[in-house]
A = this chain, B = another copy of it.
């Protein structure tokens, strides 16, 4: 979607940049799934994003300053994508989106675990997560706490609980 500047309202301008089906999904996967390459994002996409849409969005998000791309030293054809500070500051927005979705859509338990923790943790948790993302993506010092690890552990625990339940 071209950024047309139909009005100067910040909500409108945000939607001109991110108001499509796929951009925030890509950001989500980089952010919460730590998927940093085209191949990972494509192969592990829960929603089955199409290859041309993924390539297009990565290009756009890079052009508009939400992702950066550097060549992978181990394979120069591959890009390693990182979140910019602007993208990291989308954490509260995505947390709220997850919270709203938990309440108002039919979301799955396991995939909602992160959203639940982020809602419970509130702004202190988001800030800690953003600090960690600055470390993972921007080279900032490693913070003491790994929110990413906590979210991942909770997700895996929910999966294991689900697997055990399916087994019974």
Contact = CB atoms under 8 A, between A and B. Distances in A.
Interface stretch (A21-29, A35-43, A73-81): A21-29
Given A46-B7, A46-B9, A24 B17 contact: no
Contact of A21 (B10, B19, B94, B107): B19
Interface residues of A, number: 48
Interface string A85-105: 010011011101111111111
* Of A10, A86, A110, most B-chain CB atoms within 10 Å: A10
Interface string A8-22: 111111111101111
Interface on chain A toward B: helix, strand, loop, or mixed SS? helix
A88 to B, nearest CB: 11
Contacts of A65: 104
B11 A115 contact: yes
Contact of A104 (B25, B86, B106, B107): B86
Given A19-B24, A21-B1, A101 B13 contact: yes
A56 to B, nearest CB: 16
A99 to B, nearest CB: 8
Most chain B beta carbons < 10 A, residue from A28, A86, A111: A111
List the 3 shortest-distance A-B pairs measured between CB atoms, nearest first.
A10-B101, A8-B108, A13-B105
